[in-house]
Amino acid sequence: MKRRLAIAVVAVLPEIGCQNMPEPYAPPVQRPAVENFHPYRMQAIVSMSDDDAQTHFVQDLTPLATSTWRWTGQKPTIRLKARTGEDLRYSIDFVLPEANFRETGPVNIAFLVNDRVLDRVHYGSAGDQHFEKPIPEGWVTAGQDITVGAEVDKVTVDPQKGLKLGMVLVRIGITQ
């Protein structure tokens, strides 16, 4: 019996010892870490089509709206929570309607972060607009509520409802 077992083991040993080993390969090229890498970039943008958009409103966002935009008053403002205060950008998409523009003419809009003027821009024509600009360091504190808004220098008044109408807001907020 021992002899049979020894013969069986000897017969199997060549099979076990004959394995194909993988070819040797060089390790991947090492690269330096990317500076200022943030795997999860912060984005706090409120689209007027968001179901919870109204929870962010502070002032001058009128009840006149559709599913994708909302009329503003003179100084539309929203409130957000910032996870970080580093490398932030103010961003807004809005429309200056032709009908308003015929009444007001060119308008100046101040873009605000925590009631500080980030920039003032002169708009000489109606239409779709986009404004984006870096927010200076120190204007936003991580974990704190911040306000983001705009101030239109000239508005029209809705004759039926008496509302001051500044612009049509599509989205507003901060990104990183």
Per residue in 8-41, pLDDT (tens digit) is 556 655 665 566 667 777 777 777 766 655 555 5
Instruction: Give the integer Cα–Cα distance in Å for 108 and 106.
Output: 7
Q: Is pTM, for the whole model, over 0.85? A: no
Cβ neighbours around 82 below 10 Å, total: 21
pLDDT single digits (tens) 65-80: 788 999 999 999 999 9
Domain ranges of the chain: 43-175
Both tokens of 15, joined, read: 């099979």
Instruction: Give the integer Cα–Cα distance in Å for 13 and 16.
Output: 5
Across 88-107, average pLDDT: 94
Superfamily classification of domain 43-175 = Galactose-binding domain-like (2.60.120.260)
Instruction: Give the integer Cα–Cα distance in Å for 109 and 122.
Output: 7
